[in-house]
Structure 1
Amino acid sequence: MDSLTQIVLGAAVGEAVLGRKVGNKAMFYGAIAGTIPDLDVIASYVTDTVSALEIHRGFTHSIVFSIVFAPIFGWLISKIETHKSIKDWTWLFFWAFLTHPLLDAHTTWGTQLFWPFDLRLAYKNIFVIDPLYTLPFLVFLILTMLQNRTSKKRRLFNTLGLTISSFYLLISLGLKWAAHTQFKHALEDQNIDYLAIDTRPSPLNTILWNANIDTKEAYLLGNYSFFDSKPIRFTSYPKNHHLLGELQTHEKVQRMITISEGWYTISQKNGDLYFNDLRFGLLNLKPNSQDFVFQFLIQKDALGHVTFIEQPRKPGDAKAMLNDLWERIQGN
């Protein structure tokens, strides 16, 4: 999830663990703990693109990280604050560290909660930024902050924030199942044979859902809004995996295929090859759009070294996407 959401969650967890004893300091340190796992993004500045993608939401989003580093931070804060209980501070950091990846597991990218085992949990039932999850949570957190640390209202407001946000996650799982069912029915009605189907919410909401469909020669991309009145339409994107040629067996290419979980196409423009990660969809809803959210230029030098270069978004992409989403959410 986005940084603000993880700050809010960490602060609420910190309050639940230690708010009665230390007041708003529990929120403060909980918010810090809620952001620490995302420091793995530093890898993007010190290593290559493929390695950075592998590291993202890896070790720092694992149970191992929570167990190992919570006592370290607990000891450190006990030396700084007047509340000297290492155990109390350790529990605060442990639960703030752990709830961070537990929430991220609901997004498309998922987390390696059970690192070092190569298992990424990704339920794909909520977008990385979802105002309906974050804003009510934030309001209750602010109300909590304004209460005396021993007030019953303080515990009530914090509990309501945690409960309502968790309930929304539960609802989103039900919405995912309903949308997934609609996609399956559409494929059956259109007599489309497929190998696999992957569904996820579109940005900022859980009303409009996207699906990737794996067929023998192509991937089909479609979207469905709960306000739709017409059948779901799918757009075909040729896999074009053959364009990789001998690169298909290159170690770094194989790692990228693993990262994308096999949901990728290869496109060619002006003689250059591009690796398109389909899991995050398109930047717009134009027919046959090739503007994938995550698109990487594949370069190979004279020594055979392969480099993946993430393509930057163009100015205006975000505004165009929001306009498309708002119109599409209302139904086809």
Structure 2
Amino acid sequence: MDSVTQLTLGAAVAVAALGQKPGSKVKVALAGAVLGTLPDLDVLIDYGDVVSNMVLHRTESHALFYQTLISPVLAWLAALCCNQRSYYRHWLLATWLILITHTGIDAMTVYGTQFGLPFTNTPFAVGSMFIIDPLYTLPLLAGVLWYLFSRRGKGYRANSAGIVLSSAYLVWSFAAQQYVTGIAIHNAQQQLRDQQQILVTPAPLNTILWRIVVMTEQGYAEGFYSLFDSSDQIEFTLIAQDTSLKQRYADVKAVQQLSWFSRGFYTLAQQGDILLLTDLRMGQEGSYAFQFEVDPSNHRAVIQQPMRRDAATALPWLWQRMWGVQLPSPYLAASR
């Protein structure tokens, strides 16, 4: 999830654990926010190339085993900074909960979180939450602010209510994803006889509009489904690819890494002597978050292409499509 959500969640968990103890309310919330941000500092580590930096994000710093090992030290520092050394046990619980909830909501996105290290490096990804979702963050933020600017008892209850509401939203996102997955599978079986894998993830900022990616023998297909659509029929856009490229360049390091990390939801395209390697899970056709130029002969470094962004076009489309208006994907429409 985004940094604002993580620091807000960290603050909310700290308040839940220590909000009724004597001491500075601001210091407790601030310490929780800092702890909630710490795991994402692994983005500062350079693993040698842009693809490695991508697939090795959310590794040791997000692993439950290592988080448990480091929690006693971080808890002692937090208790010291908040002048609450007598409540060290409470800070130990709070610190551990802050770190594992950080990992937990990251795993709800489609990116991939390797929280099983050192026992397994599987990139777990539920994919029912977009990386930024205001309906998850706002209840947490409201609860923390209410706690900070009201009497301790009333604010503590408001913070707890914020955590309950946000947690309920996570459950809702998973239930909605499973519902849409059933519809997507039915449509894929009817329309795409050579379908192999299906991915269902929310469109940006919501859990009403869902994006479906279907890998096929000839390439892949993309479709969208809103919970407000009047029909369960999904219109897929087929994107043909030279699927032999995956086999031909299977030994290229960047291809191996993204094939594993994306769980097969990637594509390769030949552009002269360069390969265009794309993670199909994040973004949409015409605007992907992770797209790389790869030289299979290793004569030049891998280059990450900038994501195509057109908020003036994409946001109105998102709003209308979310409420069931049947519109083509904005980037596809603009390219035709």
- Please say whether Structure 1 and Structure 2 have the same fold, judged by a TM-score greater than 0.5: yes
Aligned AA (1:42): L
What aligned pairs does 1:101-250 form with structure 2 within 5 A after superposition?
Answer: 101-116=103-118, 117-149=120-152, 151=153, 153-190=154-191, 192-230=193-231, 231-243=233-245, 246-250=248-252
User: Does the 8 Å CA contact 1:179/1:224 hold for their aligned counterparts?
Assistant: yes
| Cα separation, partners in 2 of 1:39 and 1:239, compared to 1, 3 Å | same
Structure 2 counterpart of 1:267, from 266, 269, 288: 269
Letter in 2 for 1:204: L
What secondary structure is seen at the aligned counterpart in 2 of 1:169? Answer: helix
Q: Distance in 2 between matches of 1:245 and 1:109?
A: 24
Amino acid at match of 1:294: F
* 1:295 corresponds to: 291
Give CA-to-partner distance per residue, 1:43-77, whole Å, 9 cap, x none: 25x63112211221111111123212211112223
Instruction: Tell me, yes or no, if structure 1 residue 309 matches structure 2 residue 303.
Output: yes
Q: Compared with structure 1, are the counterparts of its residues 308 and 256 closer, same or farther at alpha carbon in structure 2 (3 Å cutoff)?
A: farther
Query: Aligned to 2:311, which of 294, 311, 318?
Result: 318
Pairing of 1:60-139 with structure 2 (within 5 A): 60-85=61-86, 86-116=88-118, 117-139=120-142
Contact residue 252 and residue 306 of structure 1 kept, 8 A: no
- Tell me, what secondary structure is at the counterpart of 1:249? coil
- Equivalent residue number for residue 256 of structure 2: 254
Q: Given the alignment, which residue of 272, 279, 289 partners 1:277? A: 279
Secondary structure of the 1:162 match is helix
Residues 219 and 237 of structure 1 are in contact (CA less than 8 Å); yes or no, is this contact kept in structure 2?
A: yes
1:19, 1:25 within 8 Å by CA — same for their partners in 2?
Answer: no
Q: Is the 8 A contact 2:15 2:144 kept in 1?
A: no
SS of the counterpart of 2:111? coil
> 2:143 touches 2:155 (CA, 8 Å); kept in 1?
no
Tell me the amino acid that sits aligned with residue 125 of structure 1: S
Shift of 1:296: 0.7
Aligned to 2:225, what secondary structure does the other structure show? Answer: strand
CA, structure 1 residues 226+119, in 2 after alignment: closer, same or farther (shift >3 Å)? same
1:310 counterpart letter in structure 2: Q
CA distance in 1, matches of 2:3, 2:192: 43
Q: Is the 8 A contact 1:219 1:238 kept in 2?
A: yes
Report the Cα distance in structure 1 between the residues aligned to 2:30 and 2:192, rounded to whole angstroms. Answer: 55
Identity rate of aligned residues, in percent?
Answer: 36
Q: 1:306: how far off?
A: 6.3
Partner of 2:60: 59
Query: What letter matches 1:121 in structure 2?
Result: F
Partner Cα separation in structure 1 for residue 283 and residue 236 of structure 2: 13
Q: 1:63–1:98: 8 Å Cα contact kept in structure 2?
A: yes
Shift of residue 271, structure 1, vs aligned partner: 5.0
Alpha-carbon displacement from aligned partner over 1:154-197 (angstroms, at most 9, x marks no partner): 22101100000001111111111111121122223436342221
Give the aligned CA root-mean-square deviation in angstroms.
2.1
Q: 2-side partners of 1:306 and 1:50: how far apart?
A: 14
* Aligned residue number for residue 333 of structure 2: none
Aligned residues of 2:288 and 2:307 also touching (Cα < 8 A): no
Residue 27 of structure 1: SS of its match in structure 2? helix
TM-score between the two structures when normalised by the length of structure 2: 0.88
TM-score of the two chains, using structure 1 as the length reference? 0.89
CA distance 1:305–1:261, shift in 2 (3 Å): farther
SS in 2 for 1:192: coil
Q: CA deviation at 1:29?
A: 0.7
Q: Is there any run of 5+ residues in structure 2 with no aligned partner, and where?
A: 327-336
Is the contact between residue 287 and residue 307 of structure 2 (CA under 8 Å) also seen in structure 1?
Answer: no
2:79 and 2:288 map into 1 onto residues whose CA distance is 47
